[in-house]
Amino acid sequence: MSGITIRRLQEYIKSKDYDPGAKRDYFLRLAEEVGELARAMRRGAGPATVDSVKGTVEEELWDILYYTLAIANCYDIDVETWIPVKEKLNDEKYRTGVEFDPVGRPD
């Protein structure tokens, strides 16, 4: 699947799961999913397949992203807007020499 953007994911999540009063619940679910990711990594979960994603690193990473974006929605934060701002701060702090290009233009 191509063409997925963070903004589109946020819209999708908001369309099916949006409850600004549940910020705490979303955060607790996020923390739980981080634990599940740790468990999958610790036990050396194999790569996901289309037929078998349950308990894999891939599944847990999606769950973490889902709840992260659900929390952003509760605060009306457009994550795509803030990624370049934060990456600029990171570059100033860590001096990686890798410039963030949000459009992904070829070199």
- For position 98, what pLDDT does the model report? 84
pLDDT in tens, 57-105: 999 999 999 999 999 999 999 999 999 999 989 988 998 888 888 776 5
Residue 51's identity, in one-letter code, is D
Residue appearing with tokens 């459009």: 103
Torsions phi, psi of 45, nearest 5?
Answer: -55, 135
This prediction has a pTM of: 0.87
pLDDT in tens, 6-35: 999 999 999 999 999 999 999 999 999 999
Confidence label for 106 from pLDDT (cuts 50, 70 and 90): low
Neighbours of 8 (CB within 10 A): 11
How far is 69 from 61, CA to CA, in rounded Å? 12
